[in-house]
Amino acid sequence: MAGYNTTIREKAEDYFDYMVQTRRYLHKNPEVSFKEYDTTEYIIHELKKLNIDVEQPLETGCIGIIEGKPSDKVIALRADIDALAMDEEGDAKKEFFSERPGAAHCCGHDAHMANLLGVARILTDMQQEIEGKVLLIFQPGEEKLPGGGRLLTESGFLQKQGVKEIYGLHMSPAIEPGKIAVKSGSFMARPDEFEIEIIGKGGHAASPHQTVDPVVLAAEAITKFQTIVSRSLDPTEPAVVTVGRVRAGSTYNVIPGSAELIGTVRTFSKDTADLIKQRMEQILKGIAEGAGAAYSFQFNEGYPAVVNDENCTDKLVAAAANVIGEANIIRMERPLMAGEDFAFYQQVFPGAFFFLGSGSDEADSKWSWHHPRYNIDEKAFLTGASIMAGLVLDR
């Protein structure tokens, strides 16, 4: 066993420079959700250089298929490929900054792709050791509803391929390279979104008695929303209600006719999300009727919660222990309230998702996801590629 896994680690080291160069190329050429055309073409080119068969169930993204020895074992490994609609900052990335204004890989998906392409090289080198089939999923649109994971599972392609297990990872700036974090069961939250318009009656700021001020009503709604989690839910049930944007008015001395609120609700069950939705509507109705205003309320259901299968989590931990040792595996006590469309795969197949350490002072890579200075310590590839390949090849 030791010699076998040493081979995997050595191959990850052999392909380390390739993964770094690949990540930097992709970082310079980001594309936002469901518009990853050049990215898809690049990935297909890299897979075909290895004589890997490629399928495209969706318009963007692709799936590489590696056939091993005859077996009903079919494992899928997933990387997301889309960038965020934002601009980036940070001296640590200057030499490979995004060359496309308004798009940046500030969530690590460039690294996810590079890591999985490194895994592809390891697996093709050791193809005679593979039992069954491996699917390398390069998935579009993780950052945008309805989510590429949902569209891919709904296409039926993975089911036809006979997938038995699926694994994925996400770079984590909170963990140092050489470590991972994982948890069986609830792992990441269900991220729903809401849009609200409160419709009042505008007028002169000096005559509020002749208006129905939607700004005041919006403030009241925001405050009361914060009581939903503390007073309407079981205290042991994790949940978050956050208003992320408030938009109203245009100048100092005018009370506007309406105010807009958008935000997110994070939960781990549909029942809890439905209860929060119900309470939000009740609050809005009471405030509007009490003031003679009107409102519109739209609640957009997002991704399900990421729930790690116990058996798959055990296999992941075993593969990681062979690479980095038990001491470098962080067992998370609590789930994270961020969301991930990897959850759609887990609605259909047993699977496990984990965080790969990528944060260091040396690489200036401790900035949070979606921060303009977000970066990764590329040493993470040595761990990530080895673990992913090990999930396929370990005995």
Catalytic residues, by residue number, are 82, 142
Residue with tokens 């997933």: 78
Cα 33 to Cα 83, 109, 229: the distances in Å are 7, 11, 32
Task: Enter the tokens of residue 131.
Answer: 């039992």
Cα 342 to Cα 4, 76, 120, 356: the distances in Å are 30, 12, 20, 15
Q: How many helices (H) and strands (E) would you count in the chain?
A: 11, 16
Beta-bridged to residue 63, according to DSSP, are: 55, 137
The pair phi, psi for residue 39, each rounded to 5°, is: -60, -45
Q: Could you tell me if residue 178 is left (phi over 0), alpha (psi between -120 and 50 degrees) or otherwise beta?
A: left
CB 302 within 8 A of CB 190: yes
Task: Enter the tokens of residue 134.
Answer: 């491996």
d(CA 103, CA 84): 6
Q: What is the DSSP letter of 218?
A: H
d(CA 138, CA 145): 17
The pair phi, psi for residue 260, each rounded to 5°, is: -115, 140
d(CA 278, CA 233): 12
CB 143 within 8 A of CB 107: yes
d(CA 306, CA 336): 10
301: nearest Cα among 345, 265, 336: 265
- Name the percent of the chain in helix, strand, coil, to the closest 5: 40, 25, 35
Q: Beta 190-199 vs 258-267: how paired, if at all?
A: antiparallel
Q: Could you give the residue ranges of the DSSP H alpha helices within 106-155?
A: 109-125, 148-155
